[in-house]
Structure 1
Amino acid sequence: MQPRTPRRSAHEPDSRPLVRPDDDVRLSAELSAVVSGARRRAVRDGDRQIDTAHLLHSLLESDPEVRSVFDGEPQLARLMGYLVQRSIGYGLRWQGSVEDSGALPVVIRAEGYSPLAGGAMEYARARAGRRGGPTLGIDLLAAILVDPEARAVEVLERAGIDAHVVFVRVDSRLRRTG
């Protein structure tokens, strides 16, 4: 009987994605679901790492508080369209490349995340820590909007949504709640 998966020689590159299973115990159940969705999306899109656009898409789909930040945005449907089209057109130029603006220290190397997405996860945790609460999806949304070179920011801008305006909205909401 032949094995179902062909064997690779030691010299062949591993073509499997680097995206790892969900094993970050520091995440709340809600954020774990967001990261799981982003990981599935990255694998489906053929990306080796979760980037900020994967995180944004997953946040918008699974977190009602994040979605409420975009209430009244006439371009929300357009934004979702760009995010959905990523694997069939928009965003294909990102395949095989690493999302990194160079603005974050190289020390941040979260397994399975682009440097910017890994930095955003750490920023969200630090932000929640300063607030004294659990890391929320809204913390992660704020974190992915910080770097103007982030793919999530590029998608927002292309959809006609000013990322800075959204960040200010998120920041003021977080200040009000604690």
Structure 2
Amino acid sequence: MHSNYGPPLDLNHLADDTRLTVELRSVAASARRRATRDADRSVDTAHLLHSLLENDPLARDACDAGTGRVARVLGYLVQRSIGYGLAWRGTVEDSGALPTVAMAAAPGWSPAAAAAMRRAATLAWRRGRPQADGIDLLDALAADPDCRAVAVLRSAGLDVSGYRDDGPVAS
């Protein structure tokens, strides 16, 4: 998915894309480093969620939505390389958000993660803002019920089924 206000995001050159806030560009770079460090073949939605929650206090608060469970979410994400999420190792996340063929257009990104980044930019544009931020990315992640980020949130006891473009992603 991409917006109709310009070319699709070039996921391999996000540092130069002014449709993302500096903070969100930093989150994307951090997710890429995390995937590389974990020896994963591609950035997936769990990498994005982990980097987002570590780097964006507003997204962290919105994700938690007063439940006090964000620490548990981060705990699951930290454990990913030592147990939790081992079933994901060596596989590319494809929740169906994008056709698998789209991977050729975004090497190093899972189709679901690529879709989430593109959806975040589109959400910001629809909301009348020139740049996507962490809340837009969190909303984009929550909009894909079959992605790894949502699996982590559910495992931590957060319900993202009440996704709304204008409200908190967790209840």
TM, length-normalised to structure 1? 0.77
CA contact (8 A) 1:49 1:113 kept: yes
Evaluate the alpha carbon distance shift between residue 22 and residue 108 of structure 1 in structure 2; reply closer, same or farther with a 3 A threshold.
Answer: closer
**Structure 2: any 5+ residue segments left out of the alignment?**
1-10
Q: 1:5 is matched with which residue?
A: none
- 1:143 & 1:84 partners in 2: Cα distance? 22
- 2:159 & 2:168 partners in 1: Cα distance? 17
RMSD: 2.1
Is 1:172 matched with 2:162?
A: no
Q: 1:23 is matched with which residue?
A: 13
Q: 1:135 is matched with which residue?
A: 132
- 1:97 & 1:78 partners in 2: Cα distance? 24
Q: Where in structure 2 are the equivalents of 1:8-157 lying within 5 Å?
A: 23-24=13-14, 25-26=16-17, 27-69=20-62, 70-106=64-100, 108-109=102-103, 110-133=106-129, 134-157=131-154
Superposition deviation, residue 137 in structure 1: 0.9
Partner of 2:167, secondary structure, is helix
**Structure 1: any 5+ residue segments left out of the alignment?**
1-20
- 1:106 & 1:81 partners in 2: Cα distance? 30
Superposition deviation, residue 40 in structure 1: 1.4
CA contact (8 A) 1:99 1:114 kept: yes
Over the matched positions of the two proteins, sequence identity in percent amounts to 54
Q: Note the alpha carbon deviations across 1:72-109, whole angstroms, 9 max, x for none.
A: 22322211110110111111211110101224344643
Amino acid at match of 1:151: R
TM, length-normalised to structure 2? 0.80
Moved more, 21-30 or 40-49: 21-30
